[in-house]
Structure 1
């Protein structure tokens, strides 16, 4: 069966996450339903990572196996046609080898988290960015983020329902960018990179670092929380809006 890699972007607000679930609206379900309109049968696609309810993607990657030998551009066009009006789009589609795997062939995942410090309510970006009202200290947050880099037991920063066999992970990048917006507010963008992540790990990082930026925590508190290996020592877990699966890295980029 010919295998295709799909690059996918979506607005996570209307969905109960990526993974198909009975009687619930999911991103995986929307794409598999679109595939079933092209080849009427049960489809099962595999993604590079599962995103939670309300989490978005600009660079999710999945693979699907088709019975027909589709020309990639025709499959791309047909899927986008049948996905309408869902807030899901296939941004690229390529033929890959039968042993290529969206999840197991991946070398890294990159997430973006958007946080805005603004007093006035958000109108146009509701559900796309996390808003706080207090001012934040970029230097303090970056110092706290630096304490998390490297290989650690991240028990403190993973959900209690995380299904990973081990809490050990290597965090390669956690860089925070500050942007002065036209509306006078300050936006902070958290760029996070690792081979793999634990459940709620990025949201746990950002929620904790926001407390550092607000002055409630210090960078030393982040170190103490990490070393405690205790979920109860984590800062508040931030909401899903603002989190984007931005990119998945492979030994060779199939979409290049």
Structure 2
């Protein structure tokens, strides 16, 4: 069964009386080239444990299971599970768990995260894994292109999202994926984003920086002396009082939190 083939996918969905749920951000990937690039960029080894979020009917799962030792899939939509089981019947190393991925506790043993994610939970998913006590060896997400570009913004053009990712890892866009690569096609284009964990500061310090940064960014483009008046003296000492939050480097944020 080739579920990157539109006709075969529709046939499977109709068999189980299924269709995509917009409120869950479901868009099934039907581009074989993009599927291959996702798997290749994850650099999966035969000993790897892969966590997949939102596997749907298991199109990506099957390719992951061909390479990894174990694939654990987290699916919130219980109605998709029978179709998933049929598609993965020959792959005993893949299992599906009915749960909200945002309630998942990352394992204590090594793992990688690979997924065509629901775009509406991008930020909390990244927080869940990058800020975990045991972060993954890598994260490979098929996600909204515009958000992937924001995540990769270099200093000194940070957003809260780019800062929260780059404090914990190094993001890189592997390739772009057009809307017609999905069924149904989303209203936005997509990109394959690969993140290699690389903490820039100790874990507790990173969380402290994020807490301060979120305060600063909530007031838009105002100067830090206006958004963070309680540390105005420190801002002036570091010559940062007249700067705006997006212009600070990770090193600047670290100094502010020392």
Same-fold status (TM-score > 0.5): no
Give the TM-score of the pair, scaled to structure 1. Answer: 0.26
Greater strand percent: which structure?
1
Q: Which structure is richer in relative contact order (CA contacts within 8 A, separation 6 or more)?
A: 1
Give the TM-score of the pair, scaled to structure 2. Answer: 0.26
Larger Rg: 2
